Amino acid sequence: MMLLSESARMILVAPPAYLDPGSGSFLLQLLLAGILGGAFIVRSQWTRIKAFFRRLFRRGSSSEEHEQ
């Protein structure tokens, strides 16, 4: 309930737009917000994510070498 009123408040205080954004177009963005935001983070952090896994694998393979 808290969240709902927060959301309603956000939309009510939005700058007065002369363009009708359309309810369906507005809601589709809100419904997809999580996926879109997640995809953006993954994409913008992609080099760091790759580097993290590379390090992880390297560490894994070097520890295997130690075990031998």
Partner 1 sequence: MSSNLRSGSSFRDPSGFLFARGGILYRQVNHSYRPTYDRLIDSGLYHELVDAGELIPHDVARVAPAEPRLASLVLQPERLTFVSYPYEWSFSQLKDAALLTLTLQKRAVARGLCLKDASAYNIQFHQGRPLLIDSLSFDVWKEGVPWVAYRQFCQHFLAPLALMARVDVRLGLMLRLYIDGLPLDLTGRLLPGSTRLQPGLLTHVHLHAASQRRFAGTAPASHTSARMSRNALLGLIDSLESTVRGLTWSPGGTDWADYESTHNYSPAALEHKRHLVAGYLAKVRPSLTWDLGANVGTFSRLAAEAGSATIAFDVDPSAVELHYRRCRSEGESRVLPLLLDLTNPSPAQGWDHAERLSLAERGPADAVMALALVHHLAIANNVPLALLAETFAGYGRALIVEFVPKSDPQVQRLLASREDIFPDYTVEGFERAFRSTHRIRSEDKIEDTDRILFWMEKR
Give residues in contact with partner 1 (CB under 8 A): 3-4, 6-8, 10-15, 17-19, 21-41, 43-44
Minimum distance of partner 1 from residue 53's CB (angstroms)? 22
Nearer to partner 1 by Cβ, of 14 and 51: the residue is 14
Q: Report CA dihedral (48, 49, 53, 58) to the nearest 10 degrees.
A: -10
Nearest-approach distance from CB 60 to partner 1, in angstroms: 31
Distance of alpha carbon 11 from alpha carbon 4, whole angstroms: 11
Give how far Cα 52 sits from Cα of 4, 37, 48, 62, Å. Answer: 38, 21, 6, 15
Nearer of residues 23 and 62 to partner 1, judged by Cβ: 23
